[in-house]
Amino acid sequence: MEDKDEILSKGRFLATIRTPGGWEYVTRVNAKGCIAVLAITDDQHVLLTEQFRPPVGRAVIELPAGLAGDIPLQEDEPLLVAAKRELKEETGYEAKHWSMLLEGTSSAGLTDEVATLFLARGLLKVGEGGGVDGENIRIHRVPERDVASWCRDRQAEGKGVDFKIFAALYLARFAHPPRESRLWY
């Protein structure tokens, strides 16, 4: 007989699982992936979102983010398509240039969720943003050079800050540096 994971509870969005070895974790029952987008405007501003998050009981500053495959009849939605959709829904922007920065676990001791970070450039404002279905997302346009101090100021106000902002900025700077003109003598 093969040992299997045991479903301890299952809700509309999450299930709690116990492995044969006794480890408990949560998994999403309605999505195939999680994405986050580092969107940088041509004038070097980063688009950040602010949304109340019930698990932490406060507003959190985040990258535009969401789930892939969570829409009925679109369960096979590619991650990049989800990233484009979420950027437009949450911020009202579309991007001409996309690249994947990194794929990694969000909290490996708690969940099997893997987040994929994308970089979006060549932004064009096409709508209001703010999310869908009552998400009430507030959009912030922060100069890239000021993101760290701006986020510290938000923390001082009692807001949460998602660390993926800093991971994405680091990856964009060192893995995908902006193209610069250089003089060769």
For residue 185, the model assigns a pLDDT of 45
Q: Chain-centre distance of CA 142, in angstroms?
A: 17
In this prediction the pTM is: 0.90
Domain boundaries, the chain: 1-30, 31-175
Q: Check: CATH 2.60.40.10 for 31-175?
A: no
Give, in order, the Cα–Cα distances in Å from 167 to each of 18, 63, 70, 154: 30, 11, 25, 18
Q: Return per-residue pLDDT of the chain as tens, 185 residues.
A: 568 999 999 999 999 999 999 999 999 999 999 999 999 999 999 999 999 999 999 999 999 999 998 888 888 899 999 999 999 999 999 999 999 999 999 899 999 999 999 999 999 999 999 989 888 999 999 999 999 999 999 999 999 999 999 999 999 998 765 555 445 54
Q: Which residues contact 168 (CB under 8 A, 6 or more apart)?
A: 36, 38, 63, 101, 117, 119
